[in-house]
A and B are shown apart, each in its own frame.
Chain A
Amino acid sequence: SGDSAPLNEAMAVLQHHDAVSGTSKQHVANDYARQLAAGWEPCEVLLSNALARLSGSKEEFTFCRNLNTSQCPLSQTSKSFQVTVYNPLGRKVNWMVRLPVSKHMFLVKDPSGAVVPSDVVTMPSSDIQELLFSASVPALGFSIYSVTQVPGRSPRADRPEPRFQKSLSWIKSSSRVRPS
């Protein structure tokens, strides 16, 4: 069973300025992080239960906690998966979903089964591919999109060339900024 109380309590503790401003000793900061992580875990169960009840389908839901660094094992390894987008705002929103994926092409379908435009983009300076598609989500509701890998590799898998390259010797010798 899920429980949101531990996260509630952790958030209450984290109202203290030490938790957000860097004014705590390191071991205290570590403890704040521990409380947040411990609080979030039973919340994931709670959310999974709620989504199962609302959607009428029980899934093994995955929460990608490291999307800010383009890490999501499920989307990066699965040939097909579902993306549930929940909108906590009291009005409809259109939102660009970004998920790290493997070097393939993907077909994205909206809740009605219609194909939506999508792109796989290679991030410069890395090997990471990200799948982009625009999701439309109703007020205080959710939409479920399905993503399926299709044959062929991503056409955008080539890395773009850098526009500017300058040498250190140039920086030392000139005050005017010019491309080499």
Chain B
Amino acid sequence: SRVLTIQNEYISASFDPDTGLLVEMKNLEQDLLLPVRQAFYWYNASTGNTLSSQASGAYIFRPSRQTPLFISRWAQTRLVKTALVQEVHQNFSAWCSQVVRLYPGQRHLELEWTVGPIPVGDDWGKEVISRFDTALETKGLFYTDSNGREILERRRDYRPTWKLNQTEPVAGNYYPVNTRIYITDGNMQLTVLTDRSQGGSSLSDGSIELMVHRRLLRDDDRGVGEPLLETSESGLWVRGRHLVLLDKARTAAVGHRLQAEKELLAPQLVLARGSGTPYHLE
């Protein structure tokens, strides 16, 4: 039951020996240590209540409760360690797993998650999130990008141009995350790069959450006319990656901007059997 750790020359990540969850991240280059717990949760989709008949659906995110439920409080883990890769494989449930990965020379932690098919046999629509919890004092602020360009400051329960009456404490604080979301206490910054557009928020100080998958049983009555209930094989499973960077706040932008470029314009692989013939343009 010793602590499980993966480490390269820049980053170290530790996992709780009892739960198998990520519990600590270190930036060895800058001597930064951040206790961070990451786990998967799900919101129970609202089907309407006494305040509003609005159901969660394709257009609308409306959880029935503010607190999400654990998919699992622990993960069965398997460790792969070679000279070229270190991976912790976490299995949370039959429909949720993750590989936490480090390559040599990499300045970020890679979390490759696989979610689905989301079970709905209990007649509850589910909206699945990955959440990172830290003790960073973020004073209600977090940052998301706008179409991969300008980073915008987001403040919980607040809009800069009008007096907000917050009626949806969870959904009302969700924002689009096209490429990245981060939190900072002014000294340290935790950034998560996404490989696709997702919804994200920081519902309490020091926390980041990103919605990775959803399966709903009711239409939200906004025009689609059918619930977000994928039944074909291709849409049941979702696999994606979150790249997590821990940096000093004043130098963090260099790291996440360069890494985001590398993700957007990732190398492409083409294979051949290698018995080709010489090719001339003419």
Q: Is A121 an interface residue (CB 8 A)?
A: yes
The contact size tier of chain A is 35 or more
Main secondary structure of the interface of B (DSSP, over half): loop
B160 at interface, CB cutoff 8 A:
no
B residues near A1, Cβ cutoff 8 Å: none
The reply to whether B91 and A53 contact each other, CB–CB distance below 8 Å, is no
From B85, B105, B231, B269, residue with most partner A Cβ within 10 Å = B269
Which residue of B78, B231, B266 is within 8 Å of A160 (Cβ)? B78
B271 close to A87 (CB less than 8 A): no
- Contact partners of A112 in chain B: CB under 8 A: none
Check if B269 sits within 8 Å of A25, measured CB to CB: no
Query: How many angstroms between the C-alpha atoms of A30 and B230 in the bound complex?
Result: 11
Given the known interface contacts A88-B265, A117-B83, the answer about A59 and B274 at a Cβ–Cβ threshold of 8 Å is: yes
Provide the A77-101 mask, 1 if CB < 8 A to any CB of B, else 0: 0101111111111000111110100
Known: A63-B271, A75-B271. 6 other contacts (CB 8 A): A48-B270, A62-B270, A86-B268, A96-B103, A121-B85, A163-B76
A residues at B contact (CB < 8 Å): 20-26, 29-30, 33, 47-48, 51-53, 55-64, 67-69, 72, 74-75, 78, 80-89, 93-97, 99, 117-119, 121-125, 132-135, 137, 146, 156, 160-166, 177-179
B residues sitting closer than 8 Å to A (CB atoms) are 1, 4, 17-20, 58-59, 73-80, 82-85, 89, 91, 103-105, 196-197, 214, 224-226, 228, 230-232, 234-235, 239, 261-262, 265-281
